[in-house]
Structure 1
Amino acid sequence: MILARREFLVGAVAVLALPARAAGPVEIGMRGDANGAHVWFDPVGLLVPPGTTVRWKNSDAGNAHTATAYDPTGLDDRPRRIPATASPWDSDYLLPGEEFEVMLTVPGVYDYCCIPHEHAGMVGRIVVGTVPADWHGWPDTGLPAAAVAAFPDAAAIVAQGSVRATGVPA
């Protein structure tokens, strides 16, 4: 079959208009030290393009963890800390070695936590695309002080691509 030049150009433009996707899932580890006293996400801050699948993997032999978006549907008494049109997620409890994936398509800043360890500062932040020009941070109302202190700066995430937690074993 021979395509007319116009048909070819229309098809080529449609292919070029498709959003760029990451080669595969980007992984965030759920970690803990040997005695379970410290828990964290690794990396704690991550920059990804829209359409990226993010995979959380529980690599902590001593604890079950969750990856739960800050949204009142999953965290009743917490403020929404994901873009207005984004869908929230909740992995439920992941035992050691288990994984959970979400595709993030809406640009913006996403905050999430591990429900049983939020009070210990086990939180993370993902920037999808760029930080919106009108974004001045999420409200900290109702969050434990350790969680608020653990969020990496969104500008640092964009500048570095990823941010590792501080004060935790390598």
Structure 2
Amino acid sequence: MSRTRRQVLALGGGAVATLALPRSIPASPIGEVEMVGTARGERIWFAPRGLAVAPGTTLRFVNRDSGNSHTATTYHPDLYGRPRRIPAAAEPWDSGFLLPGESFQVTLTVPGVYDYYCIPHEMAAMVGRIVVGRPGAAEWEGLSEETDDMMPEKLAALPSVDAILSRVRIGEDGSQ
């Protein structure tokens, strides 16, 4: 079968157009933290409560609790005057109130320990901890010494950094 000049030009033009398309940027690993509760609402929590991720990981907080709205809010002076419990170079975040089924994403790039809470359910110890990177890494910032505004029950609900690091990490090899 011989091709006409028009067919050859069309094929060549398609190939050039394909090469000119922007290259896709590799996506950062994505992890998920669920906001959950019992059917009657007597217990609420983040699942998992503690998580280890590589720098550059995007976390998605998803409200899977059909009966409550929740937030994912870092402890930081810029957010409701709370003592800072995230690395100094990190940006604080507040998801705002998420209704059932809604989600919020944040990408964590600064190594260290991030403590966060749900605004309406903090008193019920709905708190969580994320460890980004590993202790000893450049720019690593460990646990905050600030505990004045946290009741012992909330502090006790946060898993230790060692316990978190002993579990599966998100983003080390692009998997969860």
Shared fold (TM-score, shorter chain, > 0.5): yes
SS of corresponding position for 1:160 = coil
Q: Distance in 2 between matches of 1:138 and 1:101?
A: 27
Check the 8 A contact 2:118/2:127 in 1, yes or no: yes
1:140 aligns with 2:147: yes
Can you give the 5+ residue segments of structure 1 that lack an aligned partner in the other structure?
1-19, 163-170
How far 1:135 moved relative to its partner?
3.2
Q: Which has the larger radius of gyration?
A: 2
How many percent of aligned residue pairs carry the same amino acid?
A: 52
Q: CA RMSD in A?
A: 1.8
1:37 aligns with 2:59: no
**Number of aligned residues:** 141
SS of corresponding position for 1:46 = strand
TM-score by length of 1: 0.77
88-97 or 137-146, larger mean C-alpha shift:
137-146
Aligned partner of 1:165 in structure 2 is: none
TM-score by length of 2: 0.75
Can you give the 5+ residue segments of structure 2 that lack an aligned partner in the other structure?
1-25, 170-176
**Where in structure 2 are the equivalents of 1:91-170 lying within 5 Å?**
91-132=95-136, 135=142, 137-161=144-168
How far does the alpha carbon of each residue in 1:8-61 deviate from its partner, in whole angstroms, 9 at most, with x for none? Answer: xxxxxxxxxxxx9744x2000000011101100000000000000000000000
Check the 8 A contact 2:34/2:61 in 1, yes or no: yes
Q: Distance in 2 between matches of 1:86 and 1:61?
A: 31
